[in-house]
């Protein structure tokens, strides 16, 4: 099934190509400096970053079932990659770990481990998106003013590898403004905002115009006070011959297959890369204008194929990446053609036009990312979540803060913990419903238990039963609509039954005594998650 369904990628859709072609150029422009920056932050050869972007575009997108997700080297793995290369002692040994990580990911897809991606609350996913948007803005502001320190380029975590953090880097940037870069970024940002408003001109993608403007301005500034230095420009390796190109590839050292450290690194990369991929996939589905749902297990297998390929030829670990994916969505991409084409542009740039690519100022690429970051963290999204109630806004806001001040996975973990608190609290308060009928002799109460009654509901049920008003002399506890009642709850009800009888009350148990006390895990999970926003909720995407 996996092989036959992916063969369709060879047929380009002419209907969607008019959307995917310009979107692929935008993704290419965003991916190019990020691939280089992440390779630099990972302590790996620069070409390995570009190679990873090419494989993420051409290989993974070809096998993936996601229409808008874009894969590439992930900043979130940079610290792990750097540590693994140092621990394993050689880049070739590390490549073997990447290859094995791909095998593990493929196996996770086969055993359908991708289902865990369906259980991340929507408030956390939307918070993650907004947090990533804020990170993009904060991380790109230094490049916007010409502070292009390579020691933090490509990092997304708050604490950076050079012992700086997001705010300290920004403070340094504001003290070392290059006005040539600032002018280029300001004009580029204005172009991105204004250009789409002219419908006749908008057939040419605004980011492409931004790049052209950036190159022309940088050439115009030569010899003036606004002249840009080499570190203000994109830098990719210049390949002068086919032999030079093939010489850039590195291959894994299979003699280290029995090295336990290689397997530890492989499992670490596989687990973290899979989690990042599933989170990014869920987030992209949220901002997909067509609200398509990506097959998570197929995506894990596609990522596995990509990482096996990357490890074989000298690339970095790959994941689905939200920055590139959101740029794809905002640029109007419709299908995975845009991701595939962006991989094609990367390889052509390396082979055919590296000198031209190296004329692009980082400031105009920063403008593209600043525009993307704003769309992910719009003020309207905060307002929208506030109106949904505190049980949605608090996890959303906590996730944003945690993502910005830690990293993606830690931030999502913190947000998930807070979201589960609200979910469990709601579940506790919905353990039962009751109806009281008053009569001359007293009152009758009918207590109807919920569909799923777990041990978490024990305390609430016990407290409610033993605090019933004295005037209630007839009690009916109805569990006929419950699919599962925990045995601890049944024990509480049976004890109360004896207590009620001893006090002269009439009590009737319906559908409780013979209720199965073995939980259905799937139904229990659904019961916990039903208090949250449905997975397919339509999130208004304002372009």
**What is the C-alpha to C-alpha distance for residues 182 and 441, in angstroms, rounded to an integer?**
83
Pick left, alpha or beta for residue 332 (phi over 0 → left; psi -120 to 50 → alpha; otherwise beta).
Answer: left
Q: For the chain, which residues make up each domain, given as ranges?
A: 18-376, 380-427, 430-526
DSSP class of 56: I
The answer to whether 363 touches 214, Cβ cutoff 8 Å, is: yes
pLDDT of residue 9: 44
**What is the C-alpha to C-alpha distance for residues 381 and 347, in angstroms, rounded to an integer?**
37
The answer to whether 358 touches 233, Cβ cutoff 8 Å, is: yes
pLDDT of residue 156: 60
Which residues, 6 or more positions from 45, have their beta carbon under 8 angstroms from its beta carbon?
A: 39, 91, 248, 250, 314
How far lies 411's CA from each of 246, 396, 403, 408, 414, in Å? 40, 11, 4, 5, 5
How far lies 469's CA from each of 446, 457, 507, in Å? 13, 21, 14
DSSP class of 116: G
pLDDT of residue 5: 43
Cβ count within 10 A of residue 476: 16
The answer to whether 101 touches 180, Cβ cutoff 8 Å, is: no
Among candidate residues 64, 20, 11, the one with its CA nearest the CA of residue 341:
20
Q: For residues 393-404, b (16+ Cβ closer than 10 Å) or e, as one string? A: bbbbbbbbebbb
Pick left, alpha or beta for residue 106 (phi over 0 → left; psi -120 to 50 → alpha; otherwise beta).
Answer: alpha
HSE-up of residue 500 (Cα within 13 Å, Cβ side):
25
**How many angstroms from the chain centroid is the CA of residue 247?**
34
**How many angstroms from the chain centroid is the CA of residue 407?**
11
**What is the C-alpha to C-alpha distance for residues 242 and 245, in angstroms, rounded to an integer?**
5
Residue 181 token pair: 């870069």
The answer to whether 288 touches 68, Cβ cutoff 8 Å, is: yes
pLDDT of residue 442: 82
The answer to whether 152 touches 343, Cβ cutoff 8 Å, is: no
Cβ count within 10 A of residue 158: 18
- Print pLDDT tens along the chain (543 aa): 444 444 444 456 778 898 999 999 989 988 887 888 788 767 788 889 999 999 999 999 999 999 999 999 987 687 788 889 988 999 999 999 999 999 999 999 999 998 887 778 888 888 988 888 888 788 888 888 888 765 545 556 676 656 667 777 777 877 788 999 999 999 999 998 998 888 777 677 788 888 899 999 999 999 999 999 888 888 777 888 778 888 889 999 999 999 999 999 999 899 989 988 998 998 899 899 998 989 999 999 999 999 999 999 999 999 998 889 988 998 899 999 999 999 999 999 888 888 888 898 989 888 888 887 888 888 998 999 999 999 899 999 999 999 888 877 788 899 999 998 887 777 766 778 888 888 777 899 999 888 888 887 888 888 889 889 888 989 999 988 888 888 888 989 999 999 889 888 999 998 886 555 444 444 444 444 444 444 333 333 333
CATH number assigned to the domain covering 430-526: 3.30.750.24
The answer to whether 391 touches 125, Cβ cutoff 8 Å, is: no
């Amino acid at each position: 099934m996996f092989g036959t369904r992916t063969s369709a990628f060879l047929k380009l859709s002419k209907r969607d190509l008019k959307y995917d072609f310009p979107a692929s150029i935008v993704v290419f422009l965003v991916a190019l400096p990020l691939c280089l920056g992440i390779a630099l932050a990972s302590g790996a050869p620069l070409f390995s970053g570009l190679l990873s972007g090419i494989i993420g575009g051409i290989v993974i997108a070809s096998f993936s079932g996601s229409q808008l997700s874009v894969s590439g080297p992930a900043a979130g793995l940079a610290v792990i990659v750097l540590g693994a290369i140092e621990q394993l002692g050689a880049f070739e040994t590390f490549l073997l770990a990447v290859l094995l990580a791909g095998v593990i990911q493929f196996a996770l897809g086969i055993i359908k481990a991708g289902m865990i991606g369906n259980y991340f609350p929507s408030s956390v996913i939307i918070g993650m998106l907004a947090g990533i948007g804020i990170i993009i803005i904060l991380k790109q502001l230094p490049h916007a003013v010409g502070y292009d320190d390579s020691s933090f380029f490509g990092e997304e975590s708050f604490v950076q590898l050079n012992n700086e953090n997001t705010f300290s880097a920004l403070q340094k940037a504001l003290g070392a403004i290059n006005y040539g870069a600032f002018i280029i970024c300001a004009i580029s940002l204005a172009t991105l905002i204004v250009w789409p408003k002219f419908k006749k001109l908008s057939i040419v993608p605004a980011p492409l115009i931004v790049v052209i403007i950036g190159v022309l301005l940088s050439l115009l500034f030569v010899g003036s006070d606004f002249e840009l230095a080499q570190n203000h420009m994109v830098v990719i390796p210049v390949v002068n011959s086919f032999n030079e190109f093939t010489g850039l590839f590195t291959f894994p050292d299979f003699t280290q297959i029995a090295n336990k450290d290689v397997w530890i690194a492989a499992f670490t990369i596989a687990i973290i890369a899979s989690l990042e991929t599933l989170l990014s996939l869920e987030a992209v589905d949220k901002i997909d204008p067509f609200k398509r749902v990506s097959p998570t297990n197929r995506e894990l297998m596609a990522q596995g194929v990509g990482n096996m390929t990357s490890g074989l030829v000298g690339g970095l670990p790959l994941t689905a990446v939200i920055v590139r994916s959101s740029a794809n969505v905002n640029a109007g991409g419709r299908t995975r053609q845009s991701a595939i084409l962006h991989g094609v542009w990367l390889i052509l740039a390396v082979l055919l036009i590296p000198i031209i690519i190296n004329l692009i100022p980082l400031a105009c690429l920063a403008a593209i990312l600043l525009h993307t970051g704003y769309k992910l963290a719009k003020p309207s999204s905060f307002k929208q979540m506030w109106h949904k109630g505190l049980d949605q806004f608090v996890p959303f806001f906590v996730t944003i803060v945690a993502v910005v001040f830690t990293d993606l996975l830690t931030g999502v973990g913190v947000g998930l913990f807070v979201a589960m608190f609200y979910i469990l609290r709601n579940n506790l308060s919905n353990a039962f419903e009751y109806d009281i009928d008053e009569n001359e002799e007293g009152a009758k109460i009918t207590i109807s238990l919920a569909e799923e009654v777990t041990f978490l509901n024990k305390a609430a049920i016990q407290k409610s039963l033993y605090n019933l008003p004295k005037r209630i002399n007839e009690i009916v506890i109805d569990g006929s609509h419950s699919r599962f009642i925990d045995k601890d709850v049944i024990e509480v009800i049976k004890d109360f039954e004896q207590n009620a009888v001893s006090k002269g009350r009439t009590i009737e148990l319906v559908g409780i005594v013979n209720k199965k006390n073995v939980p259905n895990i799937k139904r229990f999970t659904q019961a916990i998650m039903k208090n949250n926003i449905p997975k397919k909720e339509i999130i208004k995407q304002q372009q």
